[in-house]
Chain A
Amino acid sequence: QTVVTQEPSFSVSPGGTVTLTCGLSSGSVSTSYYPSWYQQTPGQAPRTLIYSTNIRSSGVPDRFSGSILGNKAALTITGAQADDESDYYCVLYMGSGISVFGGGTKLTVL
């Protein structure tokens, strides 16, 4: 079974830049997987940040950006702010109607 991998946790200083990644247990992530990214704070529903690798959802600040880095999808936060402290999830579309979430990354801003 395909596993989508994410760093369990990451920390960044206020104003700093951090890159979270989304990989596959076997193989490389490409744009064909339509990687998307979601932000979730405790007790809240996820919020859509990025879709189709690098398209920002409506209202998402441009300090969030998506890309493919090497064999993984990546979410970069430039100029991190305190309210960016959240859990971040990626989703890969495997085709044939199957979507898989990564395990999520808990981002600390300190």
Chain B
Amino acid sequence: QVQLQESGPGLVKPSQTLSLTCTVSGGSISSGAYYCSWIRQHPGKGLEWIGYIYYSGSTYYNPSLKSRITISVDTSENQFSLKLSSVTAADTAVYYCARWRRDGYNYFDSWGQGTLVTVSS
């Protein structure tokens, strides 16, 4: 059973860069069947897809966030990461990493527990 775990600072100052890492266990991040994804949820609101990365490094980003996002992958550590630059209070959210099953299925099949990131001075 694959497990995903987010890690990173819970508090980030405005204008700085939010950095999170997702560690995958119980399955290889280099499996060609999956994308590694980030999703966020503002307090009391719905889910928002941020983007995903293939193990080869190909990335796909939400157009509304694209200018501030970088998603990277470290296959040797079985991890992938999110960087969101120039954050404001509007970026305060629970951030989830998830695995996107591709190859004609196209859905999120496994989720991390989520980590709350607060943007505040």
Size of the chain B interface, CB-CB below 8 angstroms: 24
User: By CB atoms of chain B within 10 A, which of A57, A89, A98 has the most?
Assistant: A98
Closest B residue by C-beta to A51: B107
Cα distance, A97 to B63, chains bound together (Å): 11
Q: Which residues of B contact A34 (CB under 8 A)?
A: 105-107
Cα distance, A52 to B100, chains bound together (Å): 12
Interfacial residues of chain A within 1-60, with CB under 8 A of chain B in the complex: 1, 34, 36, 38, 40, 45-48, 51-52, 57
Give 9 nearest A-B pairs by CB, closest first.
Answer: A97-B60, A51-B107, A36-B107, A34-B106, A93-B106, A104-B46, A45-B111, A101-B47, A99-B49
Give the interface of A toward B (CB within 8 A): 1, 34, 36, 38, 40, 45-48, 51-52, 57, 87, 89, 91, 93, 96-104
Give the interface of B toward A (CB within 8 A): 39, 46-49, 52, 60, 62-64, 96, 100-101, 104-114
